[in-house]
Amino acid sequence: MSYTLTISELVINPVTVNVPSYVIGNNAALRNGHRYTLTVKAHSNSLESAEYTEEFRTVITRPNPPILQSCTEIVSTSIDLVWQEPLYPNGDVQYYLIDTNGLSAPPQINTSTSVATYKVDPLLEATYYCFNVRTVNDGAENIQVSVTSNQLCCTTKAASSSEPTSVTTNVLSSRNISVSWNYPANPKGDIFGYRLRLRVNDICQVEIIFYCSECPNAQNIPYKDCGANKQRQTIILNKNQINTTISYVVEQLLPYTKYDVWIAAHSAANDGMRHESEVQTISEVPQKPLSVAALVQSSREITVTWSQPIPRPGVTTYHLLPPQIKGDSEQSNMSPLVRTNQAAPGKVTSFLIRRPTNILTTMEVSWAIPSLQERNGIIKEYTISHNVSGTTTVETIAADSEVFQKLYSITPDRHYQVEIYAVNSINQVGEKERKIYYASSKIKRETDTEFSIGTVVGAAVGCLVLGVLVTVILFCLIMKRRRNETSKESRSRHVLDDPHLGDQYEDLGMDNISSYQELGVKENPNVYEQIGRLHTADKHYENMLT
């Protein structure tokens, strides 16, 4: 029986031994308190066992001290110490202890984390201070603190401006943030510029100089933190801008990255006290992986490799959907699925702000769920902020439907700002949608439900003209009928009233004059004629008897 083994960082190439033990000595890579991984395989009669893996750790001993390197960011009340971590911490470094000697020196400082730079304050102006640092690892209490490091001494500045006031930072997108600030409360001299820096893991990534060349005692402000390969820019200000609120949008940042934002005023005494804040850009939609390749290892195994696009969009995993792997005769089962982390939701849709019909004191806000491609998971709720009450109010609304509506009581003739965004089930904040609405006191006519004055007047005039036309037509018809009746009555009277009519017909030599006389008989005798021709009842009966 034999064994082959490797030990990470110590035994890179497999070593074969005939006994179940192995001794390592005089190896420069061997460190106290360090973790290593052992892998072993057993061999017997041309057979090989499965690989056995185990992690072990060497004995923790007292750590070495760090090496103090420099004093940086020196102002009147603070100094930044920079040191090199110990080459042999002999364990896991937990924190560092900083001892300060000088007038009114602060007590011993515990950094609380394993860092390589630290801001020491409060200190006095124009005062000489000396510093020592010690390492603390995770060993036993009696051996976990190192001896004192080398000593480093520095002097604070005589007069430094206080930090800028009213500093605000806002994340605009995965690549952009905005920063704004005001003039320092205690400038201690003429301020003619500002230095804005963004740092990641104590390394400068962005340095923006704001410089007023026409301000009193103005001097050139050089870059001092970011190298030429980083984002650097100088913005020119005038003497009016230097004393007011300054706003700036920092672009071309990395998504899902935490930045330390430093902003300090600049005077003849160099940079003043800095304001420090922290901001993290949001993640963005992952891009398609690059250089995807698949290598068949056996009838049951395929190795898939790819590279991730730069910059990294955030915490990213991948859906791995391999093809069905076939052996010589049977089809294998599909491998497990890997799911990527959710991205933040997109904007809400159908976002509208309007006033209900003829209601001047109500504002209606409506919106709908983000589009399917931009939901990026399950929408849990919506956050809506507004200034209806005069101050910014934030509300949370449960996502229990796909379309939403909110009514607010408002005062007419004012502007209102409403901002809304979706939040998914893992509390990722979606893209914000903002609108400004002016609540007019005038009632706006809706063409589909109301009519204009011109339309009403036109309709009335049309009805009047139509009525007059109908009246005229009826009047003409009545008059025509009356004329016809009058003409017939005249002809009837002419026949009845002329006694010589029969003689005239006789003179003409007509034998049957009665037939011609009928032409003069009126079809509809008038009332007076009917009265003259009425028979009495007795006469009527007489006629019936005869």
pLDDT at 368: 92
Average pLDDT over residues 135-142: 95
Average pLDDT over residues 91-103: 96
* pLDDT tens column, 26-71: 787 889 999 999 999 999 887 888 889 999 999 999 999 999 999 9
Q: Which helix (H) or strand (E) is 540 found in, with range?
A: helix 537-545
Higher per-residue pLDDT: 312 or 185: 185
Cα angle 302-307-309, degrees, rounded to a multiple of 5? 150
pLDDT at 153: 97
pTM: 0.53
pLDDT at 58: 93
Average pLDDT over residues 346-363: 86
Please provide the average confidence, as pLDDT, over all residues in the chain: 82
pLDDT exceeds 90 at position 263: yes
Per-residue burial over 214-230, b = 16 or more CB atoms within 10 Å of its CB, e = otherwise = ebeebeebebebbeeee
Assign residue 9 a region: left if phi > 0, alpha if psi is -120 to 50, beta otherwise?
A: left
pLDDT exceeds 70 at position 286: yes
pLDDT at 449: 43
pLDDT at 138: 95
* pLDDT tens column, 443-460: 755 444 445 556 667 777
* pLDDT tens column, 167-179: 999 999 999 999 9
Percent of all residues in the chain with a pLDDT value above 90, rounded to a whole number: 48
Domains located in the chain, CATH noted: 2-57 (2.60.40), 67-155 (2.60.40.10), 165-280 (2.60.40.10), 288-338 (no CATH), 349-439 (2.60.40.10), 486-546 (no CATH)
C-alpha atoms less than 13 angstroms from C-alpha of 21 in its C-beta half-sphere:
1
Neighbours of 205 (CB within 10 A): 20
pLDDT exceeds 90 at position 522: no
pLDDT exceeds 80 at position 151: yes
pLDDT at 455: 67
* pLDDT tens column, 98-115: 999 999 999 999 999 999
pLDDT at 29: 81
C-alpha atoms less than 13 angstroms from C-alpha of 71 in its C-beta half-sphere:
19
> What would the DSSP string read from start to end of 452-485?
-HHHHHHHHHHHHHHHHHHHHHHHHHHHHHHHHH
* pLDDT tens column, 467-504: 888 888 888 888 888 777 776 666 655 544 554 444 44
Query: What's the token pair of residue 53?
Result: 């893996």
Paired strand residues for 386 = 393, 418
